């Protein structure tokens, strides 16, 4: 009986070892399966699925209603008036309803733009920041005259300093 007990203990020890090894094997297979599935899911989202654009409630047109102005040519204040500026601009306005008002106010608008431009020097106009400040000043001055709409942006379509 001692021999049988000993054989039973050896068999039990071998069985326990097999179960432990089997557990590790299934654990490794499970981890590998999760990694492969996660990689496939990530690759799908990165490479194959189109990215959805956020939906905007009200899509605004790229450029609204434009109103062109005739060219402006003024002498700049520096160099004893030997430098001049030629500027052509277009106004982006809030809507077509203010076009008749702009047409009626053209002499006043041209006068205020000429006053502002002729008070500028070369350094007041050169550079990106200076041009944006000039746009902002022009918008502020022109909007003072408007009652039916407003100027949102000003586009310089031609700017020459000589």
CATH number at residue 91: 3.30.479.30
Per-residue tokens: 67: 């109103």
Whole-model pTM: value is 0.61
74 and 147, same domain (yes or no): yes
- The domain in which residue 41 lies consists of 1-52
CA distances from 47 to 32, 50, 151 (A): 22, 8, 44
Per-residue tokens: 54: 């956020």
Q: Is the pLDDT of residue 14 over 80?
A: no
Task: Please count the structural domains in the chain.
Answer: 2
pLDDT tens for 106-154 read 999 999 999 999 999 999 999 889 999 999 999 999 999 999 999 999 9
Distance of alpha carbon 108 from the chain centroid: 36
32 and 76, same domain (yes or no): no
Q: Does residue 57 lie within any of the structural domains? A: no
pLDDT tens for 48-64 read 665 555 555 566 657 78
């Amino acid at each position: 009986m001692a021999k049988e007990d000993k054989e039973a203990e050896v068999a039990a020890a071998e069985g326990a070892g097999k179960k432990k090894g089997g557990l590790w094997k299934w654990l490794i297979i499970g981890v590998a399966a999760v990694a492969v599935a996660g990689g496939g899911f990530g690759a799908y989202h990165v490479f194959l699925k189109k990215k959805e654009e956020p939906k905007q409630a009200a899509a605004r047109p790229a450029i609204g209603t434009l109103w062109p102005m005739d060219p402006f040519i003024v002498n700049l204040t520096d160099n004893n008036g030997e430098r001049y500026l030629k500027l052509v601009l277009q106004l982006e306005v809030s809507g077509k309803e203010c076009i008749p008002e702009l047409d009626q106010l053209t002499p006043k608008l041209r006068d205020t733009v000429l006053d502002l431009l002729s008070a500028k020097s070369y350094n007041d106009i050169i550079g990106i920041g200076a041009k944006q400040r000039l746009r902002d000043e022009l918008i502020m001055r022109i909007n003072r005259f408007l009652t039916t709409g407003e100027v949102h942006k000003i586009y310089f379509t031609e700017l020459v300093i000589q």
